[in-house]
Amino acid sequence: MYNFDFVKPASVEDAVAALGGDEAQPLSGGMTLLPSMKQRLNAPATLVSLTGIDALKGVCRDGDMLVIGAATPHAVVARDAAADYPALAELAGQIGDPMVRNRGTIGGSLANNDPSACYPSAALASGATIVTDKREIAADDFFQGMFATALDEGEIITSVRFPIPQKAAYAKFAQPASRFALTGAFVAQYANGVRVAITGASENGVFRWSEAEAALSSNFSADALAGLAASADQMIGDLHGTPEYRAHLVGVMTRRAVAAAH
């Protein structure tokens, strides 16, 4: 790793101020950032840890919303979201491994927007709102392709607001080495329709599978997806799976998520 100055502010304001410095970067768990820094692929002059800010932590119900603080570790979401939004809790419980879940945070995952990460699919399929230190961003506007988001330089996520669906589930087919999603499908049924978000498959990062949404909105059953196939165009091809295989998995995982939705 290149060396850097480390700061650990106790408030969002102090964090934002620290991030205003030259080459400053936020650290929120660091499960992806620190390994990339070990490879010297990332060279912040200052690393601003967000995990000392209590205001960024916790899971709470707010009417028909579940609000999760950005610095809440996956393990806490897996535990504390279970009653209100079980599919989201189950997704959090499948990220990485127990040790990663104790450190990695939802804000860190969304801000990184790894094309194979699990959380972006939940945020997008839920139509979540990403709340930052200066604004609110709809999930549909937030994810802007592999590792790209609507966040400005120095802007930090403070919380994520998930509308609680009637039914939802996440079906993940893990890449055997990294255990990230080779393809993951998050399906969420709301009063005004069904949203389906796919992670792991596309070169453009997480995306909504609109044909499946249309079919499921009129008939929420795995059968409604019969004959529906995702296109292999712009799907990721690598040593773990061809674009065709990923396109196929999009269908399989979506059907499985629908069947498992609760």
- The one among 14, 17, 84, 240 contacting another protein by CB under 8 A: 240
Tell me the C-alpha distance between 68 and 208, whole Å: 22
147 binds another protein (CB under 8 A): no
Mark 55-84 with x for binding to another protein (rule: CB under 8 A) and - for no binding: --------------------x---------
Tell me the C-alpha distance between 83 and 80, whole Å: 7
Q: With respect to another protein, which residue has the nearer C-beta, 124 or 185?
A: 185
Amino acid at 214: A
2 binds another protein (CB under 8 A): yes
219 binds another protein (CB under 8 A): no
Q: With respect to another protein, which residue has the nearer C-beta, 34 or 228?
A: 34
Whether the Cβ atoms of residue 142 and residue 110 lie closer than 8 Å to each other = yes
Distances in Å between the Cα of 29 and the Cα atoms of 26, 34, 49, 104, 259 are 10, 9, 8, 4, 33
186 binds another protein (CB under 8 A): no
Tell me the C-alpha distance between 49 and 203, whole Å: 30
Whether the Cβ atoms of residue 212 and residue 198 lie closer than 8 Å to each other = no
The residue written with tokens 């030259």 in the block is 22
Least distance CB 153 / another protein (angstroms):
21
Positions in the binding site for another protein (CB under 8 A): 1-6, 8, 27, 30-31, 34-35, 37-40, 47, 49, 51, 75, 96-100, 102-103, 173, 176-179, 238-242, 244-245, 248-249, 252
